[in-house]
A = this chain, B = another copy of it.
Amino acid sequence: MAKPNLYKGSIHTILLKLLGDEGRMYGYEITQKVKEISNGDLLITEGALYPALHKLEADGLLQVEVEKVDGRLRKYYKLTEDGAKESVQKLSELEAYLETMQNLLQPKLI
């Protein structure tokens, strides 16, 4: 792993969370939003993003609405009901993971 943009396994969770917060977003918007939130630390590559969105859609967790804005195509994604449930699930897993990591990082108490 030369310069990973994000720890693997978290992209689906990030997408579900963002779409839950924002209501609906399109792919390019997501890349910019994540870059902004992370102050440039987390760069979601398009090669990871689009397959992830397609997978979540195929799994029935996302719903897509295509729109043309300023002559360009946009694919807006939003959570389905199942997506909202899965989001809760994934977020609690991520929180457990983050807590574990914090426990690992904490200076050892002897």
Contact = CB atoms under 8 A, between A and B. Distances in A.
A22 B7 CA distance: 25
A10 interface: yes
Sort chain A's interface into a size bin: 20 to 34
Contact of A100 (B8, B37, B96, B108): B37
Contact of A97 (B6, B17, B91): B6
**SS of A interface (majority):** helix
A48 interface: no
B96 A41 contact: yes
Interface in A51-71: none
Contacts of A98: 98, 101-102, 105
Contacts of A10: 7, 101
A84 interface: no
A30 to B, nearest CB: 12
5 contacts: A1-B9, A7-B7, A38-B103, A41-B96, A98-B102
